[in-house]
Amino acid sequence: MGPGPEGTTPRHAPSASLREADRLRDARDWPGAASAYAAWLAGRPHDWPAWIQYGHALKEAGDPEAALGAYRRAEQGRPGDADLQMQIGHALKLLGNLPGARQAYARALEAEPANDSAWREVSLLLGQPSVAAAGAPEATLSLLGDLCVVFDLTDLLSWFGANRAPTGIQRVQMELVGPALRGGGPAARVILAVYNPATLGWRTLPREAFNRLASLSRTGADPRDAGWEQAVAVARQAVEAAPDLAFPEGAWLVVPGSCWWLPNYHLAVRLAKARFGLRYAPLVHDCGPLVVPEHSPRETVADFARWFAGLAAHADLLLPVSAATAEDIRRLQDSHLPGMTLPPMLTVGLDGAPAEPLPAAGAHPGVAALAGRSYALFLGTLESRKNHLFVLNAWLALIRKHGPGKLPLLVLAGRTGFMGEPALTLLRSAPALRDAVVLLQDVPDSALPLLYRRALFVLYNSDHEGWGLPVTEAVAHGKAVLAPDHSALPEAGRGAAILFRPQSEPDFTAKVEQLAFDAGFRAAAATKSAAVTLRSWQAIGDIVLGRLGREGGAPRPAPPAIPLGTIIRLGIGGETAPTLQSLLGDALRSGEGWHVPERWGCWTRPAEVAGHAALRLALPPGTTGRIRLHLLLRAPATPQSIRLVPRGAEPLAMTLAPGEEAIAALEVAGIEGVIDLGIEAPSAPESLAPDGSAAGREVGVGLISVMACRADDLLARLDYLEHQRFTWPEAEG
């Protein structure tokens, strides 16, 4: 009846009428319509819409294979047509090719991320394990070779679990990953993944789920919207159902968000490096928890410090978002870890032109209410680091100086974050601010362009920034923008921002007065912003991926040598800065069989559940002779038999009483400069319930500390034993 799968030209007279074909279609005479369209196309093989209609008629006439051939011909001329991809998907589904149908629906979703019909089909297919395992279409046509990039989007999916509208760090992830998925750039293969602490591996995130979430996050702010909740649920279920990812050999793991808060992350990276030759490139958005720790929770500072300590030992390329952040990294490394060499760095720069987001279902009421009003815009999370108190107190001073109603309205747009309550308290308690300040806490990305365009000018404040996207966005919208002169904010302003002395209220208020009351000054500043040329996010991402493609070779060597005689504690908590001790305490653990470290130390996981637990100690260069290895062990809640199995030496077996802490000592030989020690312990309860039954997790044995020294170093051995006799000082929690 029609073309075969290869889309051969129909053998019919070219004099047929398209109007007649359409009439037969409308009359639902599908065989007649198919013949009429075939006749029309015989003389007009590039009439792509007619090929689509021909396919519809063939499909309705009961020939989905021929319909698919017609759709494929139309695809030659309309490769980005979302509706056509939907029709291809429907035909493939009728033919029983569900993985192929998923790929077609995925392409429709990439072309139109807000396409509800495409998402509905995809979400149904993702619920079928065999289809989900087949995967979606990947980026192709690499410009540079066979580069494979795995983007870790754990941070993004975690954010979407409780929030919808993105902040800067989520926006950066979406802007970098979206273009990479479309292909045609440096990466031949792009995989999205989510870290799974339970298995120390990663699982794939369907790109369709990413595209859907990215689209919805930009068009609304309500995390309780049914469509949003369904998209998040589908993404999570797909990740949970996926097996652990087998990384392509030599792939790059790129973390465009943050991973410092993920338990055992660098242990998982070490395992993947050893197994797959994986290379690791995290973006460093800022070093705020170490530079201005007073603006972060204490546990955040400790987690970040430990992660930072491991960068030099684990990363193959660092991606600071600004030159200022790169300088922070170097300074902190020199100060706290002077013996460690940092990996190469590529300063990314977040000077990407914001894309015009898809329109929301309706106008944001808070933004709509600002129509016709003169206002200054401050976009940013209400948190202590942004120091809204500084801005509000300065605004109060200006109101008292000039009188009520003289200043433009101050619009604060952003959700409340860490220690944001003082600013809210001042807003509630200061009568002069009630009519002078508007707080908008649920503004979706779709409303931001209008919010920027209508602003008289934009201001920004912060005690430290890794970049400062609102400053760049203000420049992109041709607005005069005022920001403090520190950290990365001058870079974010691209030479167009008006800078004030940090924490100087007189300088800040003077410049606000100029912007508010001097139209010529304000216009000149806006003209300067409008003249700035920003890059596309596609270009920024291509530069990053292009650099990955040029960073050839094997992964950088992992963790540093352990100085002989140094007592390494495995417990964590209370760190205020990166230290060699915290790096070594993490880096000597090997194998999958480890729980997350705690304050006292770290439990192994039962071998029958999680695989082996081991220690891998790199010895200082030139070390020879026998090494004495000491371990302080802790038993679980029941008696525990353990075996310590050193490579190249006899195992040591011992039994510990419930809750007992005991020292094990072994003499071993370093083989190729490394000591490898397996730790074997069967499953046992971490604790017992009052009735004596098992409670808590299943564990193996606990490891509190490790020390390696020369076998004849009696002073080091004595020092280690004395440390176990006395109470060790604990960092404040």
Instruction: Read off the CATH number of the domain in which 388 is found.
Output: 3.40.50.2000
User: Does some domain include residue 380?
Assistant: yes
CATH of the domain at 647: 2.60.120.1320
Buried b (16+ CB within 10 A) or exposed e, 313-330: bbbbbbbbbbebbbebbe
pLDDT at residue 625 in the model: 87
User: Would you say 459 and 378 are in contact if contact means Cβ atoms under 8 Å apart?
Assistant: yes
Q: Which residue among 479, 514, 534 closes a domain?
A: 534
H-only helix segments in 168-279? 168-182, 207-219, 226-241, 265-276
Are residues 516 and 573 located together in one domain of the fold? Answer: no
Same domain, yes or no: 382 and 527: yes
Tell me if 159 is assigned to some domain.
yes
- Euclidean distance between CA atoms 113 and 181, whole angstroms: 13
320 with 460, same domain? no
257 and 223, same domain (yes or no): yes
Residue 578 to residues 304, 306, 334, 567, 582, Cα–Cα distance (Å): 8, 6, 11, 17, 7
CB 586 within 8 A of CB 265: no
370, 332: one domain: no
pLDDT of residue 4: 40
Based on the domain organization, do 234 and 169 belong to the same domain?
yes
Task: Examine the fold and report which residue of 509, 534, 559 is the final residue of a domain before the chain moves on.
Answer: 534
Number of domains the chain is built from = 4
Please tell me whether residues 490 and 627 are part of one structural domain: no
Q: Is residue 431 part of a domain?
A: yes
CA distances (Å), 77 to each of 47, 84, 107, 141, 702, in order?
9, 11, 15, 19, 64
349 within domain boundaries: no
Q: What is the pTM of this model?
A: 0.92
Is residue 561 a part of any domain in this protein? no
- For residues 50 and 176, membership in a common domain is answered with no
| Domain termination site, one of 316, 336, 356 | 336
Kindly compute the dihedral angle of the four CA atoms of residues 99, 104, 105, 106, in this order, to the nearest 10 degrees: 90
pLDDT of residue 114: 84
Give the tokens for residue 313. 């030992």
- CA 81 to chain centroid: 30
Residues of the chain with pLDDT under 70: 1-16, 129-145, 357-361, 558, 610, 725-733
**Would you say residue 121 lies in a domain?**
yes
H/E run at residue 97: none
In this structure, the answer to whether residues 248 and 369 fall within a common structural domain is no
Residues 241 and 198 in one domain: yes
Interaxial angle between packed helices 469-476 and 168-182, expressed in degrees from 0 to 180 and rounded to the nearest 10: 70
Does residue 255 lie within any of the structural domains? yes
Continuous H helices in 95-190: 98-111, 116-126, 129-134, 154-160, 168-182
| Eight-state DSSP code of residue 693 | -
Q: Are residues 244 and 113 located together in one domain of the fold?
A: no
Domain span at residue 50 reads 18-129
Same domain, 398 and 492: yes
Length of the chain: 733
- 134 falls within a domain: no
User: How far is CA 591 from its chain centroid?
Assistant: 25
